[in-house]
Amino acid sequence: MIINKARLIELLYHEKENVRDDCAHALTSFFKKSNGVIHHLLESAMKYSKNNVSLVATIKYFVPDDDEFQNVLKYLHHMNNTEKQTDLDINNLYNLKTTLMEFPFEILNRNKNCFQFSSELLKDYEIASNREKVKNQSPDKLWNQMVELCKKYKGGMAEKDDRAYGQLLLEGLLKHRDYTRRKVTIYLGNYDIGNYQMEQYLVKLSGKLKIDEAVPYLFKIFNSSDFMEYIYSDCLTALGEIGSKEVVEEIEKLYQPDNKNRGALAGTLGKIPFEYSENLAI
């Protein structure tokens, strides 16, 4: 790993807004879901309260300890009780409320008493609780529901509510890593590509689970996709998450002057923080 997390955290306090924002973005790219970041994002957001939208919006990508979680709630409460709310305040309020729903449910549940002071927050907790029940189903139930949902939309993208439910199924499957890895590998090897929604879920699961065996299939789907389609960027994200030497070697093969995807492939290299990726980028 060639990216220094401690240095990025240190630069969150830099006086220049663009430096703070770039560091927040880099932390999200390379240390997503890690601990020990939220405290610094909050401190910097409060210190630079007139230019803190990017910092506040980034909080949801990290995992808080109990103190950090309670400080997020306090900051939300403070923003909610500001007498003359600016557009910045309204934006930050929205981001903070969204953030609460992104945190692992066990943290929300452990701090349930903190939601009691607000009926609106208590409602958010109940929504999160219902979402968790969906994710806690058995892996077979989760997978079968995902397959059925995809059959319903074989010709295109699912409707909004079904997409949201599908995302819960996907998050539930990520709790069963070995089971889901086997299923994804089998489907990619035998599945008749053509169901857009299923392709999208397989691509996302491949990236999140860092399935090396999926790399050839991800490139196949990527090369046959239009850059305007969601799955195009999903493939690039998944390949960056896997980040293996095989990914970099295949990018090198495709990185030709006449390749219309050249720029997008270069962007994927930037998501792989290892020397073998940096050497090709140089």
pLDDT value of residue 273 = 61
Shared-domain flag, residues 9 and 130 = yes
- CATH label of the domain that carries residue 213: 1.25.10.10
Shared-domain flag, residues 85 and 183 = no
Q: How many domains does the chain have?
A: 2
Shared-domain flag, residues 16 and 73 = yes
- 267 contacts 237 by C-beta, under 8 angstroms: no
pLDDT value of residue 256 = 83
Sequence-distant (≥ 6) Cβ neighbours of residue 183 within 8 angstroms: 143
Shared-domain flag, residues 193 and 270 = yes
Q: Which domain holds residue 60?
A: 5-135
**Domain's final residue, options 112, 135, 158:** 135
Question: What is the residue whose two structure tokens read 């929300």?
Answer: 108
Q: Is residue 223 part of a domain?
A: yes
Q: Please list the pLDDT of the chain residue by residue as tens digits (282 residues).
A: 567 999 999 999 999 999 999 999 999 988 999 999 999 999 999 999 988 999 999 999 999 999 999 999 988 888 888 778 888 889 999 999 899 888 999 999 999 998 887 888 899 899 999 999 999 999 999 999 999 998 888 767 778 899 999 999 999 999 999 999 999 999 888 756 568 888 899 999 999 999 999 999 999 989 888 888 888 999 999 999 998 889 988 888 888 888 888 888 888 887 776 666 665 555
Q: Is residue 231 part of a domain?
A: yes
pLDDT value of residue 2 = 65
The model carries a pTM of 0.79
Q: Is residue 161 part of a domain?
A: no
Length of the chain: 282
**Domain's final residue, options 111, 135, 159:** 135
Shared-domain flag, residues 106 and 10 = yes
Question: What is the residue whose two structure tokens read 């309260």?
Answer: 49
**Domain's final residue, options 72, 101, 135:** 135
Shared-domain flag, residues 208 and 266 = yes
Q: Is residue 92 part of a domain?
A: yes
Q: Is residue 201 part of a domain?
A: yes
pLDDT value of residue 193 = 56
pLDDT value of residue 10 = 96
Q: How many angstroms separate the CA atoms of 190 and 194, rounded?
A: 12
DSSP conformation letters of 110-164: HTGGGGTT-HHHHHHHHHHHHHHHHHTS-HHHHHHHHHHHHHHTTTSPPPHHHHH
Sequence-distant (≥ 6) Cβ neighbours of residue 86 within 8 angstroms: none
